Each structure stands twice: as structure tokens, then as C-alpha cells.
Amino acid sequence: MLEGKCVDSAPLHRAECLSVTSSELWTRATADRYDAEETEMSSAAVLGPTLAFLADLAGDGRALEFAIGTGRVGVPLRERGVPVAGIELSEHMAAALRRKIDEDTLPVTIGDMATTVVPGEFTLVYLVYNTITNLLTQDEQIECFRNAARHLAPGGRFVIELGVPPLRFLPPGQVAVPFDVSERHLGFDTFDLVEQILVSHHFTRDDDSDGDDLRYRRENSRHRYAWPAELDLMARIAGLEKERRLADWDGTPFTQDSTKHISVWRKPA
């Protein structure tokens, strides 16, 4: 499952957006629901190790979050004392962040993370929660690595959090891989193995529906999935060196059975 519920409700915005990026534009409705729906990803159990890891890498320097969204990570990282700036494509997601923290404390630039340049140098650039996949072409993902390298001080790190493509669950003839079958939500991925694109489908039960009147909201989002090794090559193209790969923020080693990875590349000093 890859996060990125954008979608079908904003065809005009999407068309405007396609002229500069392949990313789907996250709508106001999605932005308004995001924090309420991401309770697990916003829990202390998830954010604790995430923030400790990122704060350690930022050191005494500044951090830049690509696709900062509503500030799920960036806001508490700033509150820990790390100076944070953000780049975000969706004005709606940025507006939700702005309701939590002011511009002087956490500046956000509206733009595409593959190309947007913000002032200053950073010891850490990070891109979490599978969001590299929102760039739907390999060229754009490479540009995203280049843009991270552009913002890093010598010795600085680029960190990505990304799921391992779940293709081991897709035997020949099967068209979809379920990732959530719960009371409120049904989710499954479908794949275009030639174009390296997956679509995450979400059916989320309306809160006010039950019994004989069950109603579900349908959303889907497109992603370009990538293997860890492909990201390493993108990093090399961008002049970054692989430093480490973990299975989670708490330092769990990455193995062949890991379902996600935290990868760290370093700009040579």
C-alpha cells in the first residue's frame, strides 16, 4: 500500500499540475481528512523513533522536508528544536500545516520537490511515507535526488522512507494485492509491471453509515514504485553515496523479508 489519496475529484487542478509534474495534486478534501485518518502514523510509537532518527542526522544544522504535507513529521521535529523548512505541492496540505505553525517558525514553499529550490544549505533533506512514488516517472525521481543533493551541505544526508514493492504477493494471473481488510477500510494495490506503476485503491466506510445503510468512499492513487537498488543508482547519479539501509526508524536491520526501508545517502564532504 502506498499513501497518496488524491484524486478523481480534481481533474482541472490535475491538468494544471501535469504541466510541471506528473504528481497528482492532493485536494482540499484529502487535506482536511489527512490528520484525522493518519492517527497511527501520527502516534508516539511511530513518530518517536522517526523524530529521534531525523534529529540525530540534522545535528546542529537545518532540515528540509520534501512533500511536508500537513506537517505530521516536520512540525514536531521543529518543536524538538531542529530548524525545519518544507516544500509541498498542494496548497491545501500546506494550509493545514499553516494552521498549526507560523511561516517564520516553519517556512513552506509551494512547488514540486523535484525542481523547487529554497534558500540556504541543509544538513538533512528527508522524504518520508512512500512519497518518492508520487513522482510517476524515473526521470522525475532522479531529479528529486538531484534536488536533494543541491540543497545539502557537504557531509549532509538525504533520507527516504519507502515500502518495498510487494511483488512477492503477486503470482502470475493474480491482479491485485490486498493490504488492508478491516471494519472501516478495504485497500488493495493493482500493478502495471511494464510501466512500474501501481495503483492503490481505498474503500473507506462513511462514519455515519452502518447496518443496512453501509456507504463507502472510493479513492485511488497512482505511484511509480522502485526497488532499493534503483534508488541507490539514482543517488549515485545525483552524486550521493549510500551510507546505510534499515528496516525501520528504530534501527532494525534490513533483510530480504523487510517490507519497508529507511535509506540514508550522504553528500561527500
Ligand X SMILES: C[S@@+](CC[C@H](N)C(=O)[O-])C[C@H]1O[C@@H](n2cnc3c(N)ncnc32)[C@H](O)[C@@H]1O
Q: Which residues bind ligand X (CB under 6 A)?
A: 3-4, 21, 23, 26, 67-69, 72-73, 87-90, 93, 112-114, 128-129, 131, 134-135
Q: How near is the Cβ of 27 to ligand X at its closest, in Å?
A: 9
Strand order of the β-sheet with 197-205 is 176-181, 185-192, 197-205, 216-224
DSSP, residue by residue, 146-211: HHHHHHEEEEEEEEEEEEPP-GGG--TT--EEEEEE-SSEEEEEEEETTTTEEEEEEEEE-TT--G
∠ CA 68-166-179 to the nearest 5 degrees? 75
Q: How far is the CB of 208 from ligand X (least distance, A)?
A: 26
Q: In terms of CB distance, is 90 or 123 closer to ligand X? A: 90
| Burial (Cβ within 10 Å: 0-12, 13-18, ≥19) of residue 166 | middle
CB atoms within 10 A of CB 260: 15
Which of 128, 172 has the CB closer to ligand X?
128
Residue nearer to ligand X on the CB measure, 64 or 93 = 93
Nearer to ligand X, 161 or 235 (CB): 161
User: Is 90 or 204 the residue whose CB approaches ligand X more closely?
Assistant: 90
DSSP letter at 213 equals: G
Taking the complex as a whole, the smallest distance from the CB of residue 100 to ligand X amounts, in Å, to: 12
Distance CA 104, CA 155 (A): 27
Nearest 5 degrees, angle CA 1-CA 55-CA 95?
Answer: 60
Residue closer to ligand X (CB basis): 87 or 152: 87
Name the minimum Å distance from CB 238 to ligand X. Answer: 16
In the complex, what is the shortest distance from the CB of residue 269 to ligand X, in angstroms, rounded to a whole number?
A: 28
Q: Which is nearer to ligand X, 137 or 258 (CB)?
A: 137
Q: Give the nearest distance from C-beta 127 to ligand X in angstroms.
A: 7
Nearest distance from C-beta of residue 214 to ligand X, angstroms: 27
What residue ranges in the chain does DSSP mark as E strands? 63-66, 84-88, 108-110, 122-127, 152-163, 176-181, 185-192, 197-205, 216-224, 241-246, 260-266
Strands 84-88 and 108-110: parallel
